[in-house]
Each structure stands twice: as C-alpha cells, then as structure tokens.
Amino acid sequence: MIGLGIRDLVLIESLDLSFGTGLTALTGETGAGKSIILDALGLALGGRGDTSLVRRGSSQASATAIFAPAPEHPAWACLDDKGLDYSRDEDLVLRRVLGVDGRSRAFVNDQPTGVGVLRELGGLLIEIHGQHQTVGLLDSRTHRPQLDSFGSCEGDLAGCLEAWSAWRAARERLEVLLADQSRAASEAEELSTRLVELDRLAPRTGEEAALAEERAVLGAAEKALAEIGAAREQLSDEGVVSRLAQAFRSLERAGERLGRSGVEAGSAAAVRVSDATQAVDRALSEAVEAAAAIDAAAQAFAIEPERLEQTEERLFALRAMARKLSIAVDDLPAARTAFAERLLAIETADEAIAAAQAHAVSAHTAYLASSGELTASRRSAGDRLAKAITAELTPLKLDKARFHVAVEPLPVDRYGPSGVDRVEFQIATVPGAPLAGLGSVASGGELARLALALKVALATRGAGPQPLMIFDEVDQGVGGAVADAVGQRLARLASAAQVVVITHSPQVAARANAHWRVSKAGQGEKLRTTVGVLSAQEREEEIARMLSGSAVTDAARAAARALMHA
C-alpha cells in the first residue's frame, strides 16, 4: 500500500498518510482517535458506511486508499472480471465518498463502481487482525488455500485439477450418451425414415443451382424453338424459296422468248430482264442458305420432349425435402451424412455407453488417486504448520493453547478441482478443552496474537507474498517479555511485507521502522485528530511516554533508547 487520504471523517479534517515498507507503529493516548485510521481504511475498502463517520459540519466524508500491486497480483484479475480499466504500471486507487444523508459512492481509479467491488478488492489487498476484525482468519474457507501455500502443494493441486477435469469430462460424456439412449427408439425410427428418403433422392452438393439454370435454359429453348419453326415455315416449299424459284424460271423463259423474237442481247429490254434474272437467282441462293441456317439453329435447340418436366420435378423434390427438414437444399448431403452417423451411434449406443462408463470409472479412480496424494501433502503440511505455530504460541502468552490443522473428507457431492478435503484451523486455549474453530477464542487480543503466530509461520515457510497486514492492539493485556515477543514477530513478519500495528506497548513500538503518533487537539466542535510522523528523537520521547506515563523521566528516555536499539 502506498497511501491513505482522509477528508472530513469523524475528527479528521484532512490527512494524507504515506505507507513505507516494513513495520509501522501507530501510537497515541487512549481516545486520541487511532481507530479512525481503521474506520477510514474500512470505508475505502467497502466497509459499512455510517453517517456518524461524517465530520460535524461537513456534507460528506471521503477515504482514498492507494496501492501499487505487483503485476501478477490477483487484484488485476478482479478488475478484469469487473470490466474496469487499469494499467499495471500505475497505482490502483480505491475511493469511497459518504454523504451526511447516508448515500455512498464507490470508485476504482475514478471509475464509478459498487461497494461490493471495493470490498472484494480490499479482501485481496489488506488483512486486518484485531479486537473484532480478524474475519479472514475466522473464515475456514481461507484455511485450505493458506495451508496449500504453506505446504507448497501447487504441483499436487495442478495434478488434482487435471484429474478432476478429465473425470468431469468423462461424466458429462456418459450423461449425454445415457440421455440420448432414452430418446433413441423414437429417434431411430424417424432417422431411418429420413435416411431412406434422402438415399432415394440422392442429393448432390450444388445440384439446386445447376437444376435451376437448366430449367431456365430449357424453358427459354422451348419458346425459341417455336419461333424458329415459324421462321422455317416461311421458307418452306410453299414459302419464299418456292416463289423465288418460280420467279427465276419465269424470268428465264422471258429472256428466251426475247432471244427467239430476234431481240438483241444488248438491247435495253434484254439487259433489264437479264439483271432481274440474276437478282432473283441471288435472292434464291440467299433464301436457300437462310433455310439451311434456320435448320441448323433448330438442331441446336433439339431437346428431349420430357427433359424440362423431369428437371422441374427433380428441383421441386429437392426443395420439398429441404423444407421438411428446415434446411437449405445444399445442406441435404450433409444432413444425410449426419443422419447416418447419428443412426449408427444409436445402433452402437450400448457399446459406446459401456466404453464411456469404463472411461468414467478409470477417470474417477485417477482423480481419487490424485486427490489422495493432495490429501497426504495437506496432512503433512498441517502437521508442520501446527508445530510451527505451536512454537510461536508460548512466547505470545498462549503456551497453554493447542493448535491443530484438521484435514477432513468432504461429502462426495462437494468433491472438486481442489480435492476432497475440508481444512480448518482449530485451537483449544484451555487445557482439556476440545479443539474447535478459531471463533471459539473469546479474547480479541488472543485471536490477534494467534493470527500473528499464523502469519509468521506462513511467512517464514515461504508461503508467498502477503497483503498489507494491520494488527490492532495485538498486545492487549500483555506486557514485558510477551510484548517484546509480539514486537519481534511483527518485525520478522514485516521483513517481507508491509505491517501496521496499533499499539500501547513500548516494546512493540520500539521495533517499528516508522512511527506515527495520533493526537487530539482543540475543544468542542474545533476538536481535531492529527497524525504525525515521528523523527528518531520524537520516537524516543513517545516510547518514553509509553513507559512512564505523562511525566517523562530521563530513566524512561534511557529505557526507550535501549528498547529502540535492542
């Protein structure tokens, strides 16, 4: 976490805090307002918005939490899931605005969103352990992931997930086959009927377009042939050719008569008759050629008398079958193949079901074996974690407590990709008392110290990166050596994570890398809470005050220096 901005919240008018690495101690006299920091964080992270949080005289309060998650942090995946824009190389800003009328607005990177989104992101980014807020630790649903991380069970988890996916796929395949079998009888009869119809019809891909084109050509050819026949009749024996032949013979006889009558060939009359004869002869030749061309054209349109009717019947039959099946004509061949495959599947269903059952049994056996390996790893990790936490409990004044990691089987219907185990952290704080869930711990201080022991054990065994952790008065009811032990463990935990502790213990505060002091000034409506970042000298004075009370003595200052340099 980078920072926290607070505006007009309870007794804070304006405050900006920057979080550094390591351990930060937050101290101050009772009633100074240390809890306001937690209230602000809670508001920014989707907590309940009570109008009492709005500073008197203001119309609204706001809290802004700024984070810089690593590129692989799950918060980015959460933003993807919510459809929110972001850039992994920029800060992640959560902001909440609470009006005096009780209305609340939530923002992520200045994008309006729901309070639930802030709450979900907050659960990934911050843990708060204190008097009433160790919710994550009390939720047994978080115990299994923490144990898996502690035990480095990633390999076994991956194997279990793979086996689960295979088993689920086998079960789904078997369920489909069994469901199909119940419908098979009536479906097989219909499929057989359709298959016979399609086999009789024998449709071919692209046949509709070819038939439609042929139908158009045949229809046009029939009409064209009729016109060609009419033209040929005009050139028939009783038509143009016959009359031109008669005209030619008449002109020839006319020329012969002129010659027998002594009319010279070069005379005007003889020439005119000769020209006319030649012209008619040419026309006759052209008419004969035209008749031959018409005959050739007619031959080009020669078709079988029933061809058009056959083509139309075939086209209509294909289209009728396509309408019956509610598909396109061109899809009929594929439908025929699909019907045949489906009918074959139904006819061989018993064999397929037997094979699917065998595969499902095999996949189930493999899943149980894989989940069994994961269970064994978890139990081994649970024993190690219990020993590690037990070693931490004695110095934290929980020496009579017994900690146990219960790894118990889930009901069969709750088996899943993460195995077959229910994991719960259990404790008994009183000798002879039965082990129970962590919620059985009555004291908030004990629960916070238990959380500290658990976090230290997880961190020291390489359980992965930790979110910002806030411990609220984890040292309540303890002092001396126990408080020093708390401080040591917080410092150890802070070597690999950001940790903030709200404390009254000088032994804890002395271990901090940074020290904030909460103070209250003014009276009545002018009363304000402020937070100051202390220098080394100011830290010594504050720790001395915590040791000796309001009257700070030189002995207290010396003791403070000793604690700070221990």
Distance CA 429, CA 442 (A): 9
59 pLDDT exceeds 80? yes
- At a CB cut-off of 8 Å and minimum separation 6, what does 438 contact? 134, 137, 138, 425, 426, 427, 447, 450
Kind and range of the H or E element at 186?
helix 154-201
Q: Which two tokens stand for residue 216?
A: 């158009």
Residue matched to tokens 């869930």 = 437
Distance CA 471, CA 128 (A): 6
Q: Which two tokens stand for residue 73?
A: 């942090």
pLDDT, greater one: 381 or 394? 381
Q: What is the Cα Rg of the chain in Å? A: 49
Distance CA 433, CA 377 (A): 28
Q: How much is the pLDDT for 84?
A: 93
Residues, the chain, total? 566
pLDDT, greater one: 58 or 214? 58
Q: Where are the domains of the chain?
A: 3-130+444-534, 183-347
Q: How much is the pLDDT for 351?
A: 85
pTM: 0.63
Local structure of residue 39 (DSSP, 8 states): H
Residue 520 · residue 527 · CB < 8 Å: yes
Residue matched to tokens 């979110």 = 467
Distance CA 326, CA 335 (A): 11
Residue 398 binned pLDDT confidence (cut-offs 50, 70, 90): confident
Highest mean pLDDT pick, 73-82, 105-114, 122-131, 242-251 = 105-114
Kind and range of the H or E element at 273?
helix 268-300
374 pLDDT exceeds 90? yes
Ramachandran bin of 304, using left for φ above 0, alpha for ψ from -120 to 50, beta for the remaining angles:
beta
Distance CA 515, CA 173 (A): 62
- At a CB cut-off of 8 Å and minimum separation 6, what does 49 contact? 43, 96, 98, 102, 104, 115
**In 3D, which of 146, 130, 154 has the Cα closest to residue 457?**
146
State how far the alpha carbon of 175 is from the alpha carbons of 228, 343, 358, 470, in Å. 70, 19, 13, 50
Percent of the chain with pLDDT over 70: 92
What is the CATH class of 3-130+444-534? alpha beta
Summarize pLDDT for 426-483 with one digit per residue, the tens: 988 888 889 988 877 656 777 778 888 888 888 765 555 567 888 887 777 777 888 8
Q: How much is the pLDDT for 229?
A: 73
pLDDT, greater one: 486 or 549? 486
State the average pLDDT for the chain.
86
Q: How much is the pLDDT for 344?
A: 84
CATH no. for 183-347: 1.10.287
Q: What does the buried/exposed string (b/e) look like for 41-60 if buried means 16 or more CB atoms within 10 Å of the residue's CB?
A: bbbbbbbebeeebbbeeeeb
Summarize pLDDT for 182-209 with one digit per residue, the tens: 777 677 778 888 888 888 888 888 888 8
Can you list the alpha helix ranges (DSSP code H) found in 394-503? Answer: 444-460, 480-494
Summarize pLDDT for 277-293 with one digit per residue, the tens: 889 889 888 888 888 88
User: What is the residue type of 230?
Assistant: A
Lowest mean pLDDT among 17-21, 226-230, 302-306: 302-306
Q: How much is the pLDDT for 464?
A: 53
Q: Which residue spans within 332-490 are E strands per DSSP?
A: 402-409, 421-428, 436-437, 468-472
Residue 89 · residue 97 · CB < 8 Å: no
Residue matched to tokens 């020291």 = 460
Summarize pLDDT for 95-133 with one digit per residue, the tens: 999 999 989 999 999 999 999 999 999 888 888 887 555
pLDDT, greater one: 235 or 212? 212
Distance CA 464, CA 73 (A): 11
Q: How much is the pLDDT for 43?
A: 92
Kind and range of the H or E element at 373?
helix 349-393
497 pLDDT exceeds 80? yes
The residues facing 96 across adjacent strands are 63, 106
- At a CB cut-off of 8 Å and minimum separation 6, what does 143 contact? 405, 423, 424, 425
